Structure 1
Amino acid sequence: MTILLSTLNARYTHASLGLRYLQANMGDLQDVTQLQEFVIGARTTDMAEKLLQNKPRIIGFGVYIWNVEETTKLVALLKRVAPEVVIVLGGPEVSYESSEQSIVQLADYLVTGWGDVTFPQLCKQILHGPKPLMKIHAGVQPPLAELNMPYDLYTEDDIKNRTLYVEASRGCPFKCEFCLSALDKTAWPFDLDKFLSELESLHARGARLFKFVDRTFNLNIKSSLKIMQFFLDKLEAYPEDPVYAHFEVVPDHLPDALKEGIKKFPAGTLQFEIGIQSFNPDVQTLVSRKQNNEKAAENIRWLCENSHAHLHVDLIAGLPGEDIASFAQGFDRLLELKPHEIQFGILKRLRGTPIIRHTETYGLVFDPHPPYTILATDRIDFNAMQQLVRFARYWDLIANSGRFAHTLPLILHASASDSPFANFMRLSNWLYATTDATNRIALERLAVLVAQWLVTEGMDEEEASDVLRSDYAGQANTKLKAQAARKTEKALLQRQAQHMAVS
């Protein structure tokens, strides 16, 4: 083994698609290239020891917003104990504003942007000469037809235990300034028949959980329908061993042909991630987001009422030009549509994104450390932003967890004179004042605290306890019931393992 590809994933169940693309396109270096993934939180010395045990000459690291700090420590350690090993960096976190980053200063080389072609070329020069003169190499973007697909590099262990990331296209035609895809000029599709052939092979090997990373799955409806038909065919052929597919969709583009396909999916087999981000037209214009809000709301309502798809809908707090009142109005509007989950995110300044152009005009203050979260704007001060951060955390614990199904409506309507957002914000502020914590709160304690808050809001103590008990009663064998109802990724991974064991 001469070349080692590595990254620190956020969770073990995540499998790096980017590294597998590099490995698939190493050409005549593929036989001397291996992949070794870690999970954030691992000891730096342990990772370094494992990376060095086969004496690689080159280590390439995929660097992302969630792992840059730990990867920096790892690279620093490697350069101390094994300075002869050449370190090459790549990934979105180091592709922009590179010169100011300490990890780039520590490394030997950097490939910015697409690495599928440029990384193998760089490795050949490092190994066989002439030695590269430049430290930073801009990645060449080849036609997608020239790339080898990486899906046969998912191992049997990956299929048994991990989410399989796939992509039918790269890029995005939209210009939302908070997203790195704003820098793309368009979306580029892979050859669809070839891609579906790869999915067929994965399915034959036992894969049942597919997560698409395409930014705009429903941009090309003909392609979307063909991909959905692939999964519908599998569901019909293997009803006792169903597949599960996750797509990111554009909220205001759901023609009738796509609706008809969506309606055919049974419960627990389809999830849509839908980015609303903001319902404020002025804010949308500021961040170059084009969205028909009425059509988007109509489509979300249709999906909730006419399909079995699980809906995960995103909002972002802290966008330039948006105050708390505007965000609250958008939150309440989305809540009325009744998606299964509202992902309440806080704006982050991803390196390279155009959002930074609003910094001075709208008083944007970002944390200088990853993940570069917004701390304040000219309309939301630091204290208020921290309240929003806590709201988001408690919302995950109470609403998105599904554990308080009977209690949540009482929380949201605790005071008839206040909006659901205002009611939950009062609970959030009360929880923080009472516990001084937003994590490591045991479920039993959280339930007691919620009941106490409902009593402070004027609810009868016995009635509050009865409602909480009804939620608990519905959670006998909580994990099993939640898995059966929502077909979570963990459940699908377990079933994949069972399938592999008998196949």
Structure 2
Amino acid sequence: MFNFSTKDTLDNSPLHSIVTNMLKSQKNITFLEVNSSYSHTMLSYGYLRAFTEKMSPAWKWEHICATANDVPEKILSNLATLSPDVICGTLYLFNHEYSLNLLKRYKKENQRTRIFLGGPEFLGDNKKFLRRNPEISAVLRGDETSFHLILANIASPSEWKDVPGACFILDEKYHDGGFAKFAGDLDGIPSPYEKGYFSTDRPFCQIETSRGCSGRCSFCTSALSEGTRCFSLGRIKCEIECLHDAGIRDIRIVDRTFNEDKPRAKALLGLFREYCDTRFHLEINPALVDDELMGQLSMFKQGKLHIEAGIQTFCTRSLNAIRRFGSSAKMASGLKRLVSLENAQIHTDLIAGLPLQKYHDVLADVRKLIVLNPHEIQLENLKILPGTPICSNPPRGLVWNPLPPYEVLKTAQMKRSELLRTKNLSRMLDSFLNYGKLKNLFRFGYRKDREFIVKFLEYLERNSDPEQKEHLDRRLLLIKEYADKNDPLLSELTVFFWLACGFSAHRFNMETEKINPWTEADKTREKTIYSSADSIPPSRIIKGLFSFNAGALWLDANAKIARKKLIYRFYSAHGNRMLSITRTD
């Protein structure tokens, strides 16, 4: 044991010399993480670091976490301060261009730094990418298990030829190492959560309980996996416990199909319910929903489940063309059951531009989902991701952008103009149907006219900028202007929604009443249809006369329409905060 009493003695000691030389010779890695927003983080950082540290403990790790909206100069300054020997990062379609431009700028002034990239952007042929971007030393295709082999031979690229997944150019020749894939039990991969390699200051954390997918959807990167492999329940429990102890109360399970293995799904749901103060996000295939799964889901507390149901399309010929299992009838039936859950939010996904899909098929998909009434409908144009079967063997007539985000431009069945319109359709759904305060108004418009989504979209394209998300008051006025010309009942209901949002009564010449203390007679005469949890007194009362039961339709777009004159009063506080709404017959 060494015992030093003065700094001078320590500075002159052999031990100090050894430690100093070790620190000087220690190699540094910086993981550059560029997310789509501040809320998100990447799983790859924790997994890559945990595995690589186990195999190559001599390397020192640093971590820069940023978003694609950050000022590049700030990140470049941080990199310059760290002065890494190696930079690594994960590229997705949303951060590809930003990350690459930033790294190339840094490499220009720091030639000694080697840069290695991985992620879904490199699941295909990487030869062209590497030739266009000589600043990148290599890209790795596959999982986290081969990077340490690169580090072991960091100064000898000729040794990288035997590294699984390593793709690089040496002496003008392209070398492709295929795929890196952990061959053993997944529990053999060190847990990043147990090491604390996750962010505690974000709204949610992600966790995986399995890898791969038994599905073979031709547009999906998971089609490249060879079935599904799972982490043990014991490991998953330990990782959730790590997150819970760190204060995380929102966990997103990133498994491709959570309910693919029904007994395992049941066991996991039982485990999740042990953390009754935590919200879980799951991706569920509605075609596989059964009584047992519904029973398990129904046992969660209100607000502790967010379910993503990947529909993609109900068009049978397109489902067959993309090799997606599960009939459209089973998907619709399963989704209907999921929507019936009162304790969960249901998010659905649709894709436009699939093989054999026509524009009217996209409209049919949207109409079907409006009737089934999930909480959200997300519509996106198909993206042809590198390495996917549809990218390697595209159907006749498929044309897509070769650069991120790789969106389909036209197909044999859909013209460019129709795919541009599906983008506007998506924005309309997001601005009106997916927005809670407008959801029932939009659904009522569709209830009155099945062509509402087509007509209102055309109106928006003529009278607004579809790419700009309008403020709530402007969105309401757009519906009002449309309804004034097409549907008097929708027009009148829009006024109710306007007042329920706390906006000014003067816009529609409504009466504002003097605020007086309620009497017992007032309470008897007025029926409350809505009341907030706020106990503050109102600062404004607006009185409105309507020719039908607008309040019932505000609450439920499918309520029976009753034609009779009703007086509604809207009690609000400063800041457009609605306190209560009452009805007088």
How high is the TM-score relative to the length of structure 1? 0.86
Residue 45 of structure 2 is aligned with which of 3, 8, 19?
19
Offset at residue 188 of structure 1 (A): 0.5
The DSSP-based 3-state class of the residue aligned with 1:100 is helix
- Give the Cα–Cα distance (whole angstroms) in 1 for the partners of residues 379 and 195 of structure 2: 35
Describe the shift of the 1:151–1:216 C-alpha distance in structure 2 as closer, same or farther (beyond 3 A): same
* Higher radius of gyration, 1 or 2: 2
User: Equivalent residue for 2:117?
Assistant: 89
> Given residue 488 of structure 2, which amino acid in structure 1 is its aligned partner?
M
Offset at residue 317 of structure 1 (A): 0.9
1:135-214 paired onto structure 2 within 5 Å: 135=168, 136-142=176-182, 143=184, 144-154=186-196, 158-214=199-255
User: Equivalent residue for 2:576?
Assistant: none
Q: Can you list the C-alpha shifts for 1:388-443, whole angstroms capped at 9, x where unaligned? A: 1101011101111212033112321353xxx2xx3112212211221234224222
- Give the Cα–Cα distance (whole angstroms) in 1 for the partners of residues 412 and 496 of structure 2: 41
Q: Can you list the C-alpha shifts for 1:50-105, whole angstroms capped at 9, x where unaligned? A: 12211110000111111111112012101211111100111110231312226653
Describe the shift of the 1:477–1:72 C-alpha distance in structure 2 as closer, same or farther (beyond 3 A): farther
Offset at residue 40 of structure 1 (A): 0.5
Q: Can you list the C-alpha shifts for 1:16-48, whole angstroms capped at 9, x where unaligned? A: 101110011112437611222210122222212
User: Equivalent residue for 1:381?
Assistant: 415
Offset at residue 231 of structure 1 (A): 2.1
Q: Greater shift after overlay, 406-415 or 84-93?
A: 406-415
Offset at residue 466 of structure 1 (A): 1.8
Q: Greater shift after overlay, 121-130 or 304-313?
A: 121-130
Describe the shift of the 1:34–1:137 C-alpha distance in structure 2 as closer, same or farther (beyond 3 A): farther
The DSSP-based 3-state class of the residue aligned with 2:226 is coil
- Give the Cα–Cα distance (whole angstroms) in 1 for the partners of residues 312 and 72 of structure 2: 36
1:215-254 paired onto structure 2 within 5 Å: 215-235=256-276, 242-254=277-289
Residue 4 of structure 1 is aligned with which of 21, 30, 33?
30
Q: Is 1:57 the counterpart of 2:92 in the alignment?
A: no
- Give the Cα–Cα distance (whole angstroms) in 2 for the partners of residues 137 and 7 of structure 1: 24
The DSSP-based 3-state class of the residue aligned with 1:79 is helix
Q: Greater shift after overlay, 129-138 or 217-226?
A: 129-138
User: Equivalent residue for 1:354?
Assistant: 389
- Give the Cα–Cα distance (whole angstroms) in 2 for the partners of residues 366 and 147 of structure 1: 37
Describe the shift of the 1:263–1:465 C-alpha distance in structure 2 as closer, same or farther (beyond 3 A): closer
How high is the TM-score relative to the length of structure 2? 0.75
User: Equivalent residue for 2:327?
Assistant: 292
* Alpha-carbon contact 1:9-1:39 (below 8 Å) kept: yes
Describe the shift of the 1:198–1:34 C-alpha distance in structure 2 as closer, same or farther (beyond 3 A): same
User: Equivalent residue for 1:283?
Assistant: 318
Offset at residue 164 of structure 1 (A): 0.6
1:379-458 paired onto structure 2 within 5 Å: 379-415=413-449, 419=450, 422-458=451-487
Q: Greater shift after overlay, 3-12 or 26-35?
A: 26-35
* Alpha-carbon contact 1:178-1:350 (below 8 Å) kept: yes
User: Equivalent residue for 2:62?
Assistant: 34
> Given residue 402 of structure 2, which amino acid in structure 1 is its aligned partner?
P
Offset at residue 470 of structure 1 (A): 4.6
Describe the shift of the 1:186–1:30 C-alpha distance in structure 2 as closer, same or farther (beyond 3 A): farther
- Give the Cα–Cα distance (whole angstroms) in 2 for the partners of residues 44 and 375 of structure 1: 30
> Given residue 70 of structure 2, which amino acid in structure 1 is its aligned partner?
A
* Alpha-carbon contact 1:407-1:471 (below 8 Å) kept: no
Offset at residue 130 of structure 1 (A): 7.5
> Given residue 272 of structure 1, which amino acid in structure 2 is its aligned partner?
I
- Give the Cα–Cα distance (whole angstroms) in 1 for the partners of residues 500 and 134 of structure 2: 53
User: Equivalent residue for 2:526?
Assistant: none
Describe the shift of the 1:100–1:475 C-alpha distance in structure 2 as closer, same or farther (beyond 3 A): farther
* Alpha-carbon contact 1:177-1:287 (below 8 Å) kept: yes
Q: Can you list the C-alpha shifts for 1:102-144, whole angstroms capped at 9, x where unaligned? A: 6653301111111x22112111211688764672544421121
User: Equivalent residue for 2:346?
Assistant: 311
> Given residue 431 of structure 1, which amino acid in structure 2 is its aligned partner?
L
Q: Can you list the C-alpha shifts for 1:247-279, whole angstroms capped at 9, x where unaligned? A: 111211123222211111122100111111111
- Give the Cα–Cα distance (whole angstroms) in 1 for the partners of residues 228 and 71 of structure 2: 39
The DSSP-based 3-state class of the residue aligned with 2:200 is helix
- Give the Cα–Cα distance (whole angstroms) in 2 for the partners of residues 183 and 130 of structure 1: 28
Offset at residue 475 of structure 1 (A): 12
* Alpha-carbon contact 1:406-1:468 (below 8 Å) kept: no
Q: Is 1:321 the counterpart of 2:361 in the alignment?
A: no
Q: Can you list the C-alpha shifts for 1:433-492, whole angstroms capped at 9, x where unaligned? A: 2123422422222221121111121326961542332541489999xxxxxxxxxxxxxx
Amino-acid identity (%):
24
The DSSP-based 3-state class of the residue aligned with 1:105 is coil
**What's the RMSD between the two structures over aligned residues?**
2.4
The DSSP-based 3-state class of the residue aligned with 2:106 is helix
> Given residue 422 of structure 2, which amino acid in structure 1 is its aligned partner?
L
Number of matched residues?
Answer: 464
The DSSP-based 3-state class of the residue aligned with 2:280 is strand
Describe the shift of the 1:81–1:279 C-alpha distance in structure 2 as closer, same or farther (beyond 3 A): same
Q: Can you list the C-alpha shifts for 1:347-368, whole angstroms capped at 9, x where unaligned? A: 111111112366452x112123
User: Equivalent residue for 2:400?
Assistant: 366
- Give the Cα–Cα distance (whole angstroms) in 2 for the partners of residues 354 and 76 of structure 1: 30
Q: Greater shift after overlay, 388-397 or 126-135?
A: 126-135
* Structure 1 unaligned blocks of 5 or more: 236-241, 479-503
- Give the Cα–Cα distance (whole angstroms) in 1 for the partners of residues 384 and 401 of structure 2: 9
* Alpha-carbon contact 2:216-2:223 (below 8 Å) kept: yes
* Alpha-carbon contact 1:23-1:34 (below 8 Å) kept: no
Greater per-residue helix proportion:
1
